[in-house]
Amino acid sequence: MIRTLIFLVALTNDALGNANTGTLDDLNKKLLALEKSYSTRISHLEEKLATKVNDVLKLEDTVRRLGETLEAMVPRIEPPGSRIHTIKKRQKDVIPAFSVYLAHNSLLDAGQIIMFDQVTTNEANGYSVQTGIFTCPMAGLYLFSFQVMVSGEAEHAEMGAWVDLMVNAQNTEDGAVDAWHLHQELQGGNTVVVRLNSGDEVWLANRAASNQVDGSSWLHTTSFTGVFLHE
């Protein structure tokens, strides 16, 4: 009876020992499998994170380049009255103005345009030496002034000129000069302020036939000037 009890106890302990050993092996296997699984997942997450970091860096670089492009495209706004604002405004707003003169004597027919062939000033390129016409580049109020010179060729023989300032083929202002004596040199002219639209044309035309005006490359006595005043 006692032997049988001892045998049963020993058998039970051995069974429990084998059971415990089997349980530990299974746990170790599960732990190793979990470790491998989580290691794989962590590697995948690290790869995804690295990809996202690269995407963020690329996006930051794109934003930086777009900012540089916009800064180059959009002009810098300076406060009105500042020195830079004033300089930029002067560079942008070219005020139309011209001053031309005749470098040779010119015998004119009635209605003929006086072709001033020498340019002193031609801001905004409104005056054309090829046509003798000023074409208004900017609408506004303009001042025009002109002088013509005539020299007498004989005693009591009239040499003169009657000049019309024309705006779009309409006589707007006149100037006249007459020389009656030998070697007499006289100037005549006029000044007018007119409002022009962009594209309007202004020129000087001789009124009567066979009038001669004097010109010289060193004595600029026959001249034509125009300047923009304001809008």
Are 115 and 210 in the same domain?
yes
Task: Indicate whether 90 belongs to any domain.
Answer: no
Distances (CA, A) of 222 to 27, 84, 160: 115, 40, 13
Confidence of residue 170 (pLDDT cuts 50, 70, 90): very high
Least confident of 32-41, 80-89, 171-180: 80-89
Tens of pLDDT, residue by residue over 45-84, are 777 777 877 887 888 888 888 878 777 776 555 566 555 5
Name the domain count of the chain: 2
Task: Indicate whether 29 belongs to any domain.
Answer: yes
Tens of pLDDT, residue by residue over 70-122, are 777 765 555 665 555 554 454 457 899 999 999 998 888 899 999 999 999 99
Are 114 and 68 in the same domain?
no
Task: Indicate whether 7 belongs to any domain.
Answer: yes
Yes or no: say if 161 and 150 are a contact pair by the CB < 8 Å rule.
yes
Are 55 and 113 in the same domain?
no
In percent, the amount of the chain with pLDDT more than 70 equals 78
Q: Residue 166: which domain range? A: 96-230
**What CATH code is carried by the domain that includes residue 195?**
2.60.120.40
Are 49 and 142 in the same domain?
no
pTM of the entire predicted model? 0.59
Are 221 and 151 in the same domain?
yes
Are 127 and 219 in the same domain?
yes
Calpha distance 145→111 (Å, rounded): 19
Are 174 and 63 in the same domain?
no
Are 157 and 45 in the same domain?
no
- Cα-Cα-Cα-Cα dihedral sign, residues 151, 154, 156, 162: negative
Are 67 and 105 in the same domain?
no
Residue with tokens 């540089």: 68
Burial of 204 (0-12, 13-18, 19+ CB in 10 A): buried
Calpha distance 191→210 (Å, rounded): 24
